[in-house]
Amino acid sequence: MDIIEKFIRENCWRFPKGYPDINNSKDKALLFELLEQHTIKEEEQAQYSYEDLVKLIQSKKDSLDPKFIQKLYHTIEGKGQQLGTYLQQEFKTRKLSASTNELFGIINQYPGLEKQLVDVLKTSKKQISLKDLVEGNNIISVAATTTGLPAAFLTSLVRAGKSTEAGKGVGEGEALLALLGRQARKMEIGDVEIEGKEIEVKGKDGRLIGRSEDLKKLYSELSELGIQPRKAGSGLEALHTYIPHILENQPESEKEIRDLLEKEFKTSFNIDLTDSEKIKNALLEWYVDYFTANEGKNADYIMVLIGDEYKLLNKEQFKQAVLNKKIQIKNFSASNKSPNILGFT
């Protein structure tokens, strides 16, 4: 642990968030004050004894804030146990080093949590297993039941980890799974491994194929057939309604439309192109198949996490959930070839 980190760890209890927020003027002023005090040579500082500390606490006991007392108690209780050092090593082992400062900031908001968390990380049966995830559907409920950690902390942990390291991001839910999962670690973007199985995590507004290519070229080629797409809100109508719209006016264009679709998506569309629902299902199937053949190639499970609710599914279950509309996907439009996940039905 370097001198700066040691300084912050020793003084984190002084800040409301558990760490100095440089965007907060009060935190910034306190940080500079502490740094100035820290530069005073040790021999110039007054040396206080244990008895002095006890007397000071006794004299201030009526004015000490209960939250401050809790922080002070657990700071003293954990002294010498190297809890922070153990957690930092666990973050490294579980590939969460990029989120270390954020995770400590969250942990320090809950007095005594360091000790509880270390106990969880040293006890396999208190960690989240694949079986726990398969049988549950609320990430906070599953984590709280298994680990015994406070729900408020777990809720913060679900949202944690937006930083990146070496191109690897930590998205919503991934920090919780990688930290509290049994034999768990963070892998590539969107991936977490638990008990040797890879889980691809996708949240609300997530894209299955991880890109945002548009369909403007296809829409342009289709509009050259003479029928312009109608307006739908702020954009153009979805592809599955635009194609029947064209064929309603120009049925002779069917082969040309089919050829354009197959060129764009590089797959065959042997369906009735006048049926908007069949087109939508074919596009959704292409979307899932493309995802499982590429970004999700190595995944054993797909987790869709919306708020605290989730579904953990194997690839075939996930595909059927999308096709049966149990998982909603935004419509394909001129500006969207990789539409967002909207939620559950």
Q: Average pLDDT of the chain?
A: 87
> pLDDT at position 5, please?
66
> pLDDT at position 80, please?
55
> pLDDT at position 98, please?
84
Nearest CA to 253 among 273, 230, 281?
273
Beta bridge partners of 333: 336
Q: Report how far residue 38's alpha carbon sits from residue 19's, in angstroms, rounded to the nearest whole number.
A: 17
Q: Could you report the per-residue pLDDT of 21-33, keeping only the tens digit for each?
A: 877 778 777 877 7
Residue 31 structure tokens:
């940080």
**Is the model's pLDDT at 42 over the cut of 70?**
no
The CA-based angle 164-165-170, given to 5 degrees, is 40
Cα-flanking dihedrals φ and ψ of residue 181, to 5°? -75, 150
pTM of the entire structure? 0.76
Q: Could you report the per-residue pLDDT of 100-113, keeping only the tens digit for each?
A: 888 988 998 888 89
Quick one: average pLDDT of 178-187? 96
Nearest CA to 142 among 101, 99, 182?
182
DSSP 3-state assignment of 231? Answer: strand
38: number of CA atoms within 13 Å, CB side? 13
Q: Report how far residue 86's alpha carbon sits from residue 106's, in angstroms, rounded to the nearest whole number.
A: 16
CA distances from 306 to 2, 48, 311, 317, 320 (A): 39, 52, 9, 17, 18
Written as one letter, the residue type at 211 is R
Q: Could you report the per-residue pLDDT of 259-296, keeping only the tens digit for each?
A: 999 999 999 999 999 999 999 999 999 999 999 999 89
**Is the model's pLDDT at 52 over the cut of 90?**
no
